[in-house]
Chains A and B, each alone.
Chain A
Amino acid sequence: MVTAYRVPAPAPLSCPNCGGRIELHGFAHTRSAVCIQCCSIIDTASPSLRVLQRFDRAQRHRPVLPLGSRGKLEGKTWEAIGFQVRTITVEGTQYSWHEYLLFNPYAGFRYLTFYDGHWNLVRTLRALPAFTTWKGRKAASFEGRVYSHFQTAEAATAFVMGEFPWAVRVGEKVEANDYVSPPWVLSGERDGKEVNWSLGVYIPGEEVWKAFGLKGAPPAAHGVYLNQPNPHTEKMKRSWRTFVLLVFVWVALIVAAVATAGNREVFRGNYRYVHGSPGETSFVTQTFQIPRDGNVEVEIRTDLDNNWAYFNLALLREDGAQGFDFGREVSYYHGTDSDGSWSEGSRSDSALLARVPAGTYYLRIEPEMDPQASARSAAGMSMNYEIIVRNDVPRFWLLLLALPLLLIAPLRHTFRSIGFETARWSESDYGAALGSSSEDDDE
């Protein structure tokens, strides 16, 4: 029964200065509109269309998002109806960004900001952030999220185009305070006593291009923007999670290597050696079976005490088809000196033969001792020793090597993530490049 009252499209204006045609799109919200032909700002609320300001034509900028474009963001259609270029000056350098005013007659106004390829979708806030500190710096909290202070600067309007729901003016200055918690940025613009808060969320240029159906590629993003999400943080977290998983796999592999290895003792013999005994010092053991192709460990255990011995060893196949020659030096010294007790070496040693085919083998053993080395030994140039041969002992040195390899990816992502944050904060009031900003002084 209620027929919707249809609001007619706003009629275009004729510029009171140059007579140029000014299209309007913001219905009765529009309070000022720009005649781009003569760079005049018109007070659209005044019946006589008063000129609020005329500004320098030389400072014209071209919007990358054409005014009148409509696009869909956050599930709503928005029309770009206003365009501002705003500038801050830091350490004598001017930085300019674009601010597009987006309008939907039901949902109101949003802003799209654009700087060096980086975009933010911004809405004004009506709730007040609370001031706090975080990690020793000033911060703001809003809806349960803490935003670190990034920068305080004076922002000036340098150029305007289109229409606005307030009386816009070139040269208007506000104190802009940015607080970040990527991908969010909380901005407070102070104009006299009044602070207007807004909340921006970073959006990739591709999304803006897609939303507004723009042709070609969006301008490439350079550097790290203040609230740009750190692409390495997620990779870093993921790679550390993967690392933890792989460590579990790694431990499981070690356990499996130990569990599945035969690790069978195939020979054990006890001998005594006395230097200077008549006859040949080398001898051979009885034969023994090596049941599996694989490694063979030969362990030598001695009772050497402040003494030294050398063992020439050979593992020989009974059929003479294969032999492995090797030697091991065993020495063990200990005593006390001004620093206390000390010891050096070990009474036992072992040798590992990596690949030995299964078969029947024996050992040839030839111990040696040295009179000089044995001078301090109570036993003189004699020793008791034991030879133990094991087949298929568990080996996991390759797995041990794998551990640092597994660390490469998480460490790389961690360093990149740190590098990204360093780049972000180098542009802030707290960056290394800015030794003393006025903001640091009043904290």
Chain B
Amino acid sequence: MRRTANCPSCGAPVQFAWSSAVQTACPYCHSILVRHDVDLEKVGIVADLPPDASPIQVFTEGILDNRRFTVVGRIRYEWEQGGWNEWHIVFNDQSSGWLSDAQAEYAVSFLAAPPAPLPPPDQIRVGSQIRISGAPFYVTHLTPVRYIGFEGELPFVTTDRSEFLTADLRTHDARFATIDFSETPPLLFAGRFVSFDELRLSNLREFEGW
């Protein structure tokens, strides 16, 4: 399934684990590469990611609802009081989603079609209720966030570093949703919280002393 192209900057072979990847990084010269059909365009240089304590890394594998997935990339987000990772996961059928890891609290989400137009950011408050696929979701956090770095393969381009608003929504069961207001109309990601154990992760990072 792997496809290879050459880095337009240094000529090194760049492998794609996921056929739909839009952005990746050259593992040799750290150029940020955006794919246009078969051509790769260099749009910048990868910034070093700050050290983080996620046990997950690119090529970590796991199982969600009996479907095997591989981590192919990550976006590091930052907000006022910290940061978290959205690991880009790709399933065997080439569908992809996100495994988020915020202080070792894990959640899996997928880009979803909003059932109705989502409210604009100025009409949303902590405590607001939004119905998504028949169930009430409650807005628990409204957080300005920004990308501070990425690695691996992503389904979109992350070169814009300006701050944007996200809304976190939770439910009475373990489902959750995020509204990403960086685009118009806003993007909806919906999923659920998962435990570390249920994902049966392998190829994890190791921690000295553990």
Chain A interfacial positions (CB closer than 8 Å to B): 2, 4-9, 26-29, 31, 45, 77, 104-109, 124, 126-130, 142-143, 165-167, 193-194
Contacts and interface: CB of A to CB of B under 8 A. Distances in A.
B138 A128 contact: yes
A143 B107 CA distance: 18
A28 B127 CA distance: 31
A341 to B, nearest CB: 69
B170 A108 contact: no
Interface in B163-190: 170-176
A127 B205 contact: no
Given A8-B208, A105-B207, A126-B170, A194 B55 contact: no
B82 interface: yes
Contacts of A27: 53, 207
B193 A126 contact: yes
A310 to B, nearest CB: 82
Contact of B174 (A7, A104, A126): A126
A108 B103 CA distance: 6
13 contacts: A7-B53, A7-B205, A9-B208, A26-B53, A27-B53, A105-B53, A109-B104, A124-B105, A126-B176, A127-B173, A127-B174, A128-B171, A193-B127
Given A7-B208, A106-B204, A127-B171, A28 B51 contact: yes
B115 interface: no
A126 B140 CA distance: 10
A194 B103 contact: no
Interface string B192-210: 0100110000011111111
Given A127-B174, A127-B193, A128-B138, A108 B104 contact: yes
B57 interface: yes
Nearest to B126: A193
A129 B82 CA distance: 26
A142 B127 CA distance: 18
A165 B209 contact: no
Contacts of A28: 50-53
Contacts, number: 91
Nearest to A77: B210
A167 B126 contact: no
B183 to A, nearest CB: 25
B108 to A, nearest CB: 12
Contacts of B206: 4-7
Given A105-B207, A127-B174, A129-B172, A29 B53 contact: yes
Given A7-B205, A106-B196, A194 B141 contact: yes
Contact of A106 (B51, B55, B138): B55
A245 to B, nearest CB: 41
A105 B104 CA distance: 7
Contacts of B174: 126-127
B172 A7 contact: no
Given A105-B104, A194-B141, 20 more contacts: A2-B203, A4-B205, A4-B206, A29-B53, A29-B103, A104-B210, A106-B104, A106-B196, A107-B197, A108-B103, A126-B105, A126-B107, A126-B174, A128-B138, A129-B172, A142-B172, A166-B81, A166-B82, A167-B81, A193-B127
A101 B173 CA distance: 25
B107 A105 contact: no
Given A128-B171, A193-B126, A7 B107 contact: no
Given A4-B205, A5-B205, A128-B140, A29 B81 contact: no
A143 B174 CA distance: 9
Contacts of B91: none
A77 B207 CA distance: 13
Given A4-B203, A8-B208, A105-B210, A128 B170 contact: yes
A109 B53 contact: no
B59 interface: yes
Contacts of B209: 9
A45 B52 CA distance: 11
Given A126-B174, A194-B141, A6 B104 contact: no
Given A2-B203, A127-B193, A105 B176 contact: no
Contacts of B197: 107
A94 B127 CA distance: 33
Contacts of B107: 126
A105 B170 contact: no
A6 B105 contact: no
Contact of A107 (B51, B59, B175, B196): B196
Given A4-B206, A7-B53, A27-B53, A108 B196 contact: yes
A195 B59 CA distance: 36
B202 to A, nearest CB: 9
From B107, B141, B205, B209, residue with most partner A Cβ within 10 Å: B209
Nearest to B138: A128
Contacts of B210: 77, 104-105
Contacts of A167: 81
Counting from the closest, the 4 A-B pairs by CB-CB distance are A108-B104, A27-B53, A28-B53, A9-B208
Nearest to B107: A126
Interface in B66-84: 81-82
A166 B103 CA distance: 10
